[in-house]
Amino acid sequence: MRLIDEDGSQLGIMSVKDAQKIALNKGLDLVKIAPQATPPVCRVMDYGKYRFEQAKREKEARKNQRIVETKELQLSVGIGIHDLNVRLNQAKKFLQNGDKIKVSIRFRGREMAHTQLGQELLLNFAEQCSELGTIEKPPKLEGRHMLMFLAPRPTK
């Protein structure tokens, strides 16, 4: 097997027993890092310290990542102007926080005959939110519901 020292220098190709003796003399562990290579590559290192540093890096990466939530706003075809403005303000707040938005319209009774009104309403809603978000999925009718997804604009 090919042996690499703790400082990264190569010690050459040797038997497993010799490599274990070297690791034991230094008070460190012998770790196989490339078993599929010919010959296999092993490294002399403090495995406990390596695992601790790896866990620390993963914890730091988890701390820095942000979980994107999906918020839902429900509209209706006959929504009033004030109610629409309230929903727009909520949508802008959600987009500023970095959340995705699912905007839905439920059609009741004879409203199903005028789904184009719902589509126009959703596109108008997206246009008014365009400075903070973009359309991730355009309006689509699924049964009695028309859905559209908005995503926040990437920050620079």
Q: How far is Cα 59 from Cα 38, in angstroms, rounded to an integer?
A: 35
Here the contacts of 126-130 (C-beta below 8 Å, separation 24 or greater) are 126/150, 128/88, 129/88, 129/91, 129/92, 129/95, 129/101
Nearest one of 65, 144, 143, 138 to 102, comparing CA atoms: 138
Residue-range domain boundaries for the chain: 2-64, 70-152
pTM over 0.95: no
Q: What is the pLDDT of residues 46-64, one digit of tens each?
A: 999 999 999 999 998 888 7
Q: What is the pLDDT of residues 125-140, one digit of tens each?
A: 999 998 999 999 999 9
The topology (CATH level 3) of 70-152 is Translation Initiation Factor IF3 (3.30.110)
Split at pLDDT 50, 70, 90, the class of 156 is low
For 2-64, the fitting CATH number among 1.10.10.10, 3.40.640.10, 3.40.630.10, 3.10.20.80 is 3.10.20.80
Same fold, 2-64 and 70-152: no
